[in-house]
Amino acid sequence: MKIVVLVKQVPEADKVAVDPETGTLIREGITSILNPYCEYALDEAVKLKNAHPEENIEIVTISMGPPQTKLALLRCLELGADKAYLLSDRKFAGSDVWATSTALKEGVVNLEPEFDLILAGKQAIDGDTAQVPAETAEQLGVPQITYGVKVQIVGKKVEVKREIETGYQIVSARMPALVTMSKGSNIRRIPSMKEVLNARKKPLEVLTADDIGIDENKVGLKASPTQVARIFAPPEKVGGEIIDGSDHIDSAKKLLEFLIANNYIKE
């Protein structure tokens, strides 16, 4: 059995800054990490591999990004992936979610066509669109289950416990299928020294668009139906006012004064 995990390298959430002149993200000098939700998906793949030794599961990670994305894929290898592919080419520059899903779909079809299950994070913490995995599943023509917190393999089907607004739901689909993962019980693990050393011996291949036969007219900026006109940072939240509640009469008086002063109620 083969499990493909789609991953993305993202800036650390507390390090993101926006250029006030251009409205673009400042990436120079910013530490990048493996997207946490992608890490949860990888952790779920490792759990499945350990739970089903009879299936001889192979875990393959695929990412599209600049050359430095190799660091995120190396972490995937440290955390239990068996091999990794990086799709890296200037032809991918400017890809929106649709063009990105096209590249990933072509990567899966050309590199690992006999996959049984694809796992991905429910969203990336930089864009938060949650669209790429769904669009990849659509382009592959396989069923998709989103917001999973636990995955089980039952015969030829995948059974997923998924988050919904009112609690949880159990959904199953025949494999091959794609599942996106929320956090659930998974954790961001720290690999052992042995795992770190072994990861350097595992295959990590960097491929261009030409290497996997991607039509350059289907990826990149010119193939992207949506474009970002401007990115801006939201205004910083100011701290609220705390009223000491030890004296309830005085507290009520101060609260009333606050509401009147800010025009929430009329005097």
**What torsion, rounded to 10 degrees, do the Cα atoms 171, 177, 183, 189 define?**
140
Cβ atoms of 7 and 76 within 8 Å: the answer is yes
In one letter, which amino acid is 122?
A: K
pLDDT digits (tens, 9 = 90+) for 165-216: 999 999 999 999 999 999 877 777 888 899 999 999 999 999 999 999 998 8
Number of domains in the chain: 2
pLDDT of 239 higher than 80: no
pLDDT by residue (tens digit) across 151-160?
A: 999 999 999 9
Nearest-angstrom CA–CA distance, 30 and 222: 27
**Token digits of residue 238:** 């100011």
- With 60 as the cut, is the pLDDT of residue 22 above it? no
Reply yes or no on whether the pLDDT at 23 is more than 60.
Answer: no
Same domain, yes or no: 157 and 198: yes
What amino acid occupies position 32?
Answer: S
Per DSSP bridges, beta strands 157-164 and 32-34 are unpaired
Task: For residue 230, tell me if it sits in a domain.
Answer: no
260 and 140 in a common domain:
no
Assign 267 to helix, strand or coil: coil
Angle at 212 between CA 206 and CA 214, to 5 degrees: 120
Q: How many residues appear in the chain?
A: 267
Whether 210 and 254 map to the same domain: the answer is no
Domain assignment of residue 229, yes or no? no
Residue 95 CB contacts under 8 Å (≥ 6 apart), including other chains:
64, 102, 103, 219, 220, 221, 223, 224
Residues spanned by the domain of 254: 237-267
* pLDDT per position as a tens digit, 49-104: 999 999 999 999 999 999 999 999 999 999 999 999 999 999 998 888 999 999 99
Q: What is the pTM of this model?
A: 0.82
Residues 7/42, Cβ–Cβ less than 8 Å: yes
Whether residue 41 is predicted with pLDDT greater than 90 in this model: the reply is: yes
Provide the CATH number for the domain around residue 58. Answer: 3.40.50.620
Please say if the pLDDT value at position 125 is more than 90.
no
- Mean local confidence (pLDDT), 240-254: 86
- 144 and 211 co-located in one domain: yes
Task: Report if residue 121 sits inside a domain.
Answer: yes
Q: Are 10 and 55 in a shared domain?
A: yes
Residue 20 pLDDT > 70:
no
Centroid of chain to Cα 86: 15
The C-alpha atoms of residue 240 and residue 261 are separated, in whole angstroms, by 15
